[in-house]
Amino acid sequence: MSNPDATPAWLREIDRLSLSRTQIFLHGNVKDSFFYPVGDALEIGPLRDAVFSHFTGKGYAIVASYNLVDGMTFADPSMATLFDQAVGDAEKAQPKVLGKAPGPRRTEEPVVQALQQMRLCLANRKHACMFMVEQAPQLFASAGSLAMEERLAMLRVLRTSVESVRVASRQNTLIMVCDGLTEMPPWLVMNNPFVGSVEIDRPRRLERQRFFRSFFRTANVDPRLDELAELTEGMSTRELIGLRALSGQPDAPKEPKRLVDRFKFGQRESQWDSLKPEDLKDLEGTLSRRVIGQTAAVATVADVLRRARLHLSGAGGSSRNKPRGVLFFAGATGVGKTELAKAIAELVFGDDEMC
């Protein structure tokens, strides 16, 4: 059994919605990689792998995905046999249509056939099943102007939402994957009590913490992994994997802030680190050469700069992704506010125009 606490938030939301919904539109950060629990371990893989692992772990007998390139793909080859049986039984049980003249059966497009087979299987009461349609907007040319075959395909999707049944405690579910809900026909998504939507965000803080604790154990980085979780806010899983790869390089910084900066911006010299110890000894004298008559202000600024350079509390603070110091100069015109700012810029960045 997988650790439920490590299950991504979007998978837990799918579980919640499937209590009352039969069809779920999965959108947002769908092209990313994902980490998901397998037993006590944490695995990383594409969306399909995460969904397959989740639903097979929940005991679904048929778990499959469909896209225009690969066709139907099953989580386990044995599931294809159950799928064929369920579809065959459903086709035999379909009532005859009265008033329809006999004749050769019209050949349908593969995508229309696949959606019809999924529809029949989702209505079966023997085997719990889940189907995921990847890149769903690629099934049609334009959401606002569907050709007849495209309309037939989407109407079958709509019918599926009503016809899908529950097998024991498991809801037969169809998941449609898209970047955004606006890519889908509005009449397919809106005002249908059988339909729900789940947005996949980039990894949240708790998920990033689990990632670092699982995959940074032997990395060339110090133990401050929770700090890494804070510094990587907004990163995708692929970027976190890249950060992990960077941390394993021989010359990678060990300090989390420097490691993240190296990953984001490349290798570059820190202007703060270029300040030598001897530069810190007589900051007051250095600043006073440009600012005259402001002894108290110069002393305060010098203290802030020393703390900023040494990463001490008060200037650098406990969070490394915040400013090292904040200075607010107030006073009448001509007392030296601008000149003091220029003196700081020249000292730290080597150019007084940087202020």
Does residue 220 register a pLDDT over 70?
Answer: no
- Cα–chain center distance at 185: 25
pLDDT digits (tens, 9 = 90+) for 16-57: 999 999 999 999 999 999 989 888 888 999 999 999 999 999
How far apart (Å, rounded) are the C-alpha atoms in residues 274 and 270? 6
Burial class (CB in 10 A: 0-12, 13-18, 19+), 243: buried
pLDDT digits (tens, 9 = 90+) for 70-89: 999 999 999 999 999 999 99
Overall fold of domain 4-200:
Rossmann fold (3.40.50)
Amino acid at 259: L
How far apart (Å, rounded) are the C-alpha atoms in residues 207 and 232? 11
Listed by start position, the domains of the chain span: 4-200, 216-265, 277-354
Report in angstroms the alpha-carbon separations of 53 from 1, 19, 59, 278, 292.
11, 19, 10, 59, 69
How far apart (Å, rounded) are the C-alpha atoms in residues 167 and 59? 11
pLDDT digits (tens, 9 = 90+) for 128-153: 999 999 999 888 877 677 788 888 88
pLDDT digits (tens, 9 = 90+) for 319-338: 555 677 788 888 888 888 88
- Of the candidates 133, 123, 119, the one whose C-alpha atom is nearest the C-alpha of residue 71 is 133
Amino acid at 108: E
- Of the candidates 114, 214, 122, the one whose C-alpha atom is nearest the C-alpha of residue 160 is 122
DSSP, residue by residue, 240-277: HHHHHHHHTSTT--SSHHHHHHHHHH-S---TTTT--H
Model-wide pTM > 0.75: no
Q: What is the average pLDDT score of the chain?
A: 84
Contacts 24+ apart (CB under 8 A), 207-216: 207/8, 207/9, 207/35, 208/232, 208/235, 208/240, 210/6, 210/35, 210/42, 211/35, 211/42, 211/237, 211/240, 214/35, 214/41, 214/42, 215/42, 215/244, 216/244, 216/247
Kindly state the tokens that stand for 190. Answer: 């809106």
pLDDT for the residue 4: 56
